[in-house]
Every structure is written in structure tokens, then in C-alpha cells.
Structure 1
Amino acid sequence: MHHHFYAITGGPASGKTTLLEGLEQQGYPFVEEVARRIIKDQVANRGLALPWADKQAYADRMWQESIDAYSLAEIDYADQACFFDRGILDTIAYMIMEDLQFPRNYIKVLNSITYKKVFILPPWIEIFEQDSERKQSWQEAVITYNALKECYIQHGYTPIEVPTGTVEDRIDFILEAL
């Protein structure tokens, strides 16, 4: 099955969610980031699958929930363009950055999860802020961006860097690139 799936990735506080919400207002569906949902759930339920508690459990849960989200999108958005707030390779990049283990079968699964294009948002100091779910420093945001870019390249993608600017300009840039 040939999908029109696009990943939007980047380090924390680069404007991904705002951009995706803008695309949604233009009629493009998007699949929400699973990481924040996991953190909110774990904090609310006093779970340990958190990046500051049990990184391996957190990564394993991100992996599974990302696969589940992709599978649902195959059903819900099979015939239309759909954007993902982070792709499955974001989880692999996180595992590499944190020196975590991932089973060999993860690589096999990657062959069945594809995106037509990957858009990457660079670190943007003017909008960077930390909150209860985003605890990374600015330096960690830059390191994350570089790790994500390298991971996507290593898996055969050519990430398209979306320039900083207004939401409208970023949307126009992405739509032109489609």
C-alpha cells in the first residue's frame, strides 16, 4: 500500500506541534506525538515509564505506541496526506542517545513503516522553553536535533529542514515540498 505519510521531527521546542496544528487547520490530519501522551499518563498514574525514571520502559512504550499509531493511520488516512508529530525513527534516535537496548526485530519493523518525506525543524532559541513534560536544556535540544537528523539519514531519508519563521511561512514551505 502506498501512503502519503510525512514525518515532522526536530528537537524539543522547535515548533512542531504549532506547525502541525496549522496544517490541520488547512485540512491535513496529523498523528499526535506519543511521547508527551506517555509522560502525561505515567505522571498521572505514578508510573515509572518516564525519561527521568525508567528510560528503557519509556522507550519501549514509545516504540509500541508509535507502531500502533502508524497502524491506525494506515486505516484512517489510507487515501490522504497525513503528518506525524515525530516518526518512528525518533524512538530509535532516543534509544541511541540514551545508550538503550533495542531488539533486532525493531529494524525489521522499520522496513514496513515509511514516510514519503521527513521534515526536520531546527532548534529555535526564541521559542525554546521548558515545562513539566519538557525538561531538556537548550544544549540537549541541539544534541537531539543532530541525533534525529543523523538517524533519519542513516535509515535512507533526506530530512528537509524547515526554516524558522511564521507558521504560515512554514506551512507554505512544507506544502510546496510535497
Structure 2
Amino acid sequence: MSVSVRKTKKILLTGPPGTGKTAVIDALKELNYAVKEEVIREMTAALEDLNESDGINPLVIADDPLEFNKRLFEKRKEHFKQSATNEVCFFDRGLIDVVGYMEHFKQVYPPYFTTEIKNNRYDMVFYFEPWEAIFTKDEERLETFKDVLSIDDTLKKCYHRLDYDFVVVPQKSIAERTRFILNMINV
């Protein structure tokens, strides 16, 4: 008698800030899908509490940006490992995003980041492109739309360089975007 082991489908939602990823993650969560939520807001909020500067991205002004990004990378890797018990798991950003943002901010990352990314591959990536109509700044999102366009360019280059193709999510309602993703992964 053979037992088939079913691998978790790890589905990554990515793109620059303010493009609707988290709204879709919330919709997937409402539909009872396993999700791993974005950890950066929690980390940047804690850092901002310690920082007196206003209007500057905390990833750039952290006392030790490399250490901050290592912690972020480890939290995202932990999310990846924790997803093994789910049939399908959706991620609001992933390991590659850490490298992409570090490249955007001209920060050097350790070589093991690339190794870990290659060893912990997502099964499918959905990319949310800049959409000015829904973009808003808030207390944790400090980027301008011009910044978003620049981050978008860096992220796309990073994903391609690390051998990832992605599916662009259409700029539609949250429900339509969610349905699009679910149809694409056949669930």
C-alpha cells in the first residue's frame, strides 16, 4: 500500500506597497484559507515608536538595517515553514521581497538570503502592480506613489533574476481579484 504525501501549495501575493495585496489576503482569510499575513507593519510600527523622525522609511533609518532585514527574513522564512500543515497557504509578501527592498534601498544582503530563497520556493506568485486609484499613504505606509513605481521596477527585476515568473493580478474589485487568484490555482 503506498501513501501519497500531498505538498502544500504555497501561493505568494507580492508587489509594491498600496496595491491591494492585504485586502485580498483578508478576503482569502474570510473564505477560511490559510494565510500568512504581512509582518513588516508590525515591525515598522515598533521601530517608529523608537524613532523620532517623521516621514522617513524606517527600513532606511533603522539603527541597523541589516539586522532589521535579517529579522524580517527569518520571520518570513518561519511563515514559509509553518505553512507545511496546510493544503493551500497564501502569503502576504515573501522572502524575495526582503531582497528586493534591500536592493531598492541600496543595502547589501548576506549571500545566504539567496540560498534560502532558492531552497524555499513558492509554487505560484501573483503580482499586484501599482494602481494609483487605490493608493493611499498612512501612518505605516510612508512611500509616495513615485516611490511605489520605483519599488515596482526593482521588485520585478529581483523576481525575474531569482527565476520566478508571476501572474499579474487584474486591477479590479477585491472580490474579482480574489476569484481570479482562486481560479488560477484551481481551488
SS at 1:51 equivalent:
helix
> What amino acid maps onto 2:59 in structure 1?
P
2:173 alignment partner, one of 151, 166, 173: 166
Gaps of 5+ in 2: 1-5
2:67 alignment partner, one of 53, 57, 61: 57
Pairwise CA distance, 1:73: 2.3
> Which whole-Å CA distance do the structure 1 matches of 2:106 and 2:7 have between them?
34
Pairwise mapping of residues 82-161 of structure 1 onto structure 2 (< 5 A)?
A: 82-161=89-168
Q: CA RMSD in A?
A: 1.9
> Which whole-Å CA distance do the structure 1 matches of 2:143 and 2:15 have between them?
13
* TM-score, scaled to structure 1: 0.90
Pairwise mapping of residues 18-29 of structure 1 onto structure 2 (< 5 A)?
A: 18-29=23-34
Cross-structure match for 2:3: none
Cross-structure match for 1:38: 43
- Does structure 1 retain, via aligned residues, the 8 Å contact 2:125–2:166? yes
SS at 2:127 equivalent:
strand
> Which whole-Å CA distance do the structure 1 matches of 2:33 and 2:9 have between them?
11
Bigger Rg, which one = 2
> What amino acid maps onto 2:107 in structure 1?
L
- Does structure 1 retain, via aligned residues, the 8 Å contact 2:77–2:95? yes
Number of residue pairs matched by the alignment: 174
> Which whole-Å CA distance do the structure 1 matches of 2:39 and 2:143 have between them?
17
% identical equivalent positions: 25
Pairwise CA distance, 1:147: 1.5
> Which whole-Å CA distance do the structure 2 matches of 1:171 and 1:150 have between them?
25
Cross-structure match for 2:83: 73
SS at 1:8 equivalent:
strand
* TM-score, scaled to structure 2: 0.86
> What amino acid maps onto 2:40 in structure 1?
A
Gaps of 5+ in 1: none
- Does structure 2 retain, via aligned residues, the 8 Å contact 1:162–1:170? yes
Moved over 3 A (4+): none
